[in-house]
Structure 1
């Protein structure tokens, strides 16, 4: 990082790292002023530390620290810190799937306020990224750094073996499933790791622009709507035909299937190309290609934002704002992070670099970054709700009831909606 935005993208890969507190510019002494502190999670913390290495040159009077915790631990700690106003950092890194919970509360600073002036920068980012960071009042409360334009990864060799073409996968979600049946029959490979991934993207792709995935602009739950029914029906068809391998992303059996050519497709953010090339399945180099998602669905799989706690130390807020601007709007830093950490830049100026025109060896020399750039600029705004993660868990549980116990789809969705509405009204 669940739905496409809640997948915690490449940060899950760093889950083995424990929480650490690192001083970026020297040891801490009790008599010194408190340092400017950035709270982050693995891989994002590396980007922050790289920036802070040069911070002392332009701000020799300011000490800095990066507090790094595992992905879930970080967001849990930040939830506690914002609610209690205790141990607040000066800058918080937030993953997209948690943004709704934080932005819809009152714990984050209004960056649209005159003291910060974030509105003047909204045109420098891909539109969906900055608009996603607005609260109920329309104020920007976080600045986007990186995004994960989604695409369909597929094994070109397996498609050829099955007598299929890319268009057979992308024409529609129904044709994608039908192609999966032919792939399984001709090659023995599964279409996808787990049907939840298919359900997630169909639900998200059908969300009207500017509305929430689970709740519309009037606050009405949409879990019984046609897009959820379609997603559940196709997921059920995939499971009944044995087209999903029933393996969880990032687990050893999933990685092993990718290595052995047992999974024909993968739907994920652009960063997945780097992860497969570097550690998941490097032996499959040249066999993969990418395409836009079926039906030209455009979405982002995760992303990183930076925010300032409303109750953090007032005397350091302007320094924190300056640091956020460097993290999010420095073109060269954005490109460096993309090259080293697969952090696709939300900054439009960084997307015009020649690096985007270079072939990607792992993808058989395909100019995939151009495809991801096109997707990034077409991704619609989907509003995040404070109960986003809870709703996702409830819907996944009901999908299991349909697939494992034969529960009727209509009843499953009605039950999920009732539970989400009850939780939202508490």
Structure 2
């Protein structure tokens, strides 16, 4: 029996989805649980009406925890098989770690068949969920293409143009010197942000960030040396405000024009306009990252635990396809929550060509769409999170003149090598 049509749902998805009974009961007789974190939970709840039309006999129940609590709870549930939801939302940075644990279903297998949809999804997002053994453990729903946001008014006062910031990393630093000298504004909130992007710059598809596929440590390399050198130079020149993102000082700097640029994700525009710095509407512009660098910042995925209830796995897959393959759902999430769609079908929507008021009418979504297709996925090692902390700590020691760059990277390599052997 045919699946009731959903507005915008792909023909392929519609023909393959599960079939509800003709005479659905007046009240739901089953419950599908989805565990999520903000704002993914809001996006899931917004789909409840569509879900009721698709499966009127199954209640959709969305369970919410704060970001860190959610991922801790999912880690515990996967290891104990207790309290498993039917569907779990995962942030991109933890997908690789969860994949290595073996607790997630391989979505290539029945009743899923994710490979049939691969060409419909942004390539790097799909690749992020591919484990070392080739299994695909999660379905991407939104992504965070990297971008530079800069204050147009501050640049004008300093007689700096966009190309001065984006042409190369050296040009970015030189422009920061002019901005600081002529306006007093800092180039960036923290030089750690520069390092975070530069260590991702120049990677080829399949190359790891901190480890290669054989768990060899990659941090004592020209890629990390260059990132540390540029971060140190920016600090020595007084170009960063030495404040952490999402701190009160960071927000105040953005509001008061003390920060000339920010390197982040496209979704930051929504955060700035809604609560971080709404008074700066029209003063910001978006541009590519310096030197043609490509980076992704976050993104959400849906996964199914291997030991979740077998009777609801097909239903869980129906929900995931509704959230990830229905262009109407994806577009609505983009419009309401700045959740940049992982579904490529949505990228041709006229909304992408509309001017962004907060960015002075710039059609920035086209820039971000193009950037998303140039990002390459990196294999995620189970020790990546620890490696990030180690590298961050070593850069702090370099910035405080406690170590040379060579010593810091050598120490990081030694520590990570010991950890990787565990």
- Normalised to the residue count of structure 1, the TM-score between the two structures is 0.91
What is the CA distance between 1:251 and its match in structure 2?
1.0
Count of aligned residue pairs for this structure pair = 395
Residue 35 of structure 1 pairs with residue 31 of structure 2: yes
1:91 to 53, 62, 87: 87
Secondary structure of 1:216's partner?
Answer: coil
What is the CA distance between 1:132 and its match in structure 2?
1.0
Alignment of 1:265-414 (within 5 A): 265-414=261-410
Q: Which stretch of the first structure deviates more once superposed, 375-384 or 71-80? A: 375-384
2:242 to 246, 268, 284: 246
Separation in structure 2 between the aligned mates of residue 284 and residue 228 of structure 1, nearest angstrom: 35
Separation in structure 1 between the aligned mates of residue 326 and residue 43 of structure 2, nearest angstrom: 12
Separation in structure 2 between the aligned mates of residue 368 and residue 165 of structure 1, nearest angstrom: 17
Cα offsets for 1:256-291 (capped at 9, x unmatched): 111110000000110111111111111111111111
Q: Which stretch of the first structure deviates more once superposed, 218-227 or 188-197? A: 218-227
Separation in structure 2 between the aligned mates of residue 218 and residue 79 of structure 1, nearest angstrom: 25
Secondary structure of 1:242's partner?
Answer: coil
Secondary structure of 2:219's partner?
Answer: coil
Q: Which stretch of the first structure deviates more once superposed, 164-173 or 59-68? A: 59-68
Separation in structure 1 between the aligned mates of residue 393 and residue 30 of structure 2, nearest angstrom: 45
Checking the alignment, whether the CA contact within 8 Å between 2:200 and 2:294 is kept in structure 1 is no
What is the CA distance between 1:352 and its match in structure 2?
0.6
Cα offsets for 1:366-417 (capped at 9, x unmatched): 1100000000111112111111111101110111111114301111111112
Cα offsets for 1:179-231 (capped at 9, x unmatched): 11111001000000011101000001232322111112333211011110011
Residue 151 of structure 1 pairs with residue 147 of structure 2: yes
Cα offsets for 1:102-132 (capped at 9, x unmatched): 1122000000113211111100001111011
What is the CA distance between 1:33 and its match in structure 2?
6.3
Q: Does the C-alpha gap of structure 1 residues 142 and 345 become closer, same or farther in structure 2, counting only changes over 3 Å?
A: same
Which residue number in structure 2 is paired with residue 162 of structure 1? Answer: 158
Separation in structure 2 between the aligned mates of residue 57 and residue 363 of structure 1, nearest angstrom: 38
Secondary structure of 2:141's partner?
Answer: strand
Q: Does the C-alpha gap of structure 1 residues 114 and 59 become closer, same or farther in structure 2, counting only changes over 3 Å?
A: closer
Residue 217 of structure 1 pairs with residue 213 of structure 2: yes
Which residue number in structure 2 is paired with residue 61 of structure 1? Answer: 57
Secondary structure of 1:38's partner?
Answer: strand
Separation in structure 1 between the aligned mates of residue 221 and residue 30 of structure 2, nearest angstrom: 51
Separation in structure 1 between the aligned mates of residue 334 and residue 349 of structure 2, nearest angstrom: 11
Question: Which aligned runs of 4 or more in structure 1 are off by greater than 6 angstroms?
Answer: none
Q: Which stretch of the first structure deviates more once superposed, 34-43 or 225-234? A: 34-43
1:130 to 126, 133, 140: 126
Secondary structure of 2:396's partner?
Answer: helix
What is the CA distance between 1:157 and its match in structure 2?
1.3
Which residue number in structure 2 is paired with residue 22 of structure 1? Answer: none
Secondary structure of 2:41's partner?
Answer: helix
- Normalised to the residue count of structure 2, the TM-score between the two structures is 0.92
Separation in structure 2 between the aligned mates of residue 366 and residue 33 of structure 1, nearest angstrom: 49
Secondary structure of 2:136's partner?
Answer: coil
Separation in structure 2 between the aligned mates of residue 286 and residue 63 of structure 1, nearest angstrom: 43
Alignment of 1:57-206 (within 5 A): 57-206=53-202
What is the CA distance between 1:34 and its match in structure 2?
6.0
Separation in structure 2 between the aligned mates of residue 178 and residue 58 of structure 1, nearest angstrom: 57
Q: Which runs of 5+ in 1 are unaligned?
A: 1-31
Residue 51 of structure 1 pairs with residue 73 of structure 2: no
Checking the alignment, whether the CA contact within 8 Å between 2:215 and 2:420 is kept in structure 1 is no
Cα offsets for 1:155-193 (capped at 9, x unmatched): 111112112111111111111111111110010000000
Separation in structure 1 between the aligned mates of residue 52 and residue 349 of structure 2, nearest angstrom: 28
Q: Which runs of 5+ in 2 are unaligned?
A: 1-27
Secondary structure of 2:82's partner?
Answer: coil
How large is the RMSD of aligned CA atoms in angstroms? 1.2
Secondary structure of 1:37's partner?
Answer: strand
Q: Which stretch of the first structure deviates more once superposed, 229-238 or 416-425? A: 416-425
Checking the alignment, whether the CA contact within 8 Å between 2:86 and 2:309 is kept in structure 1 is yes
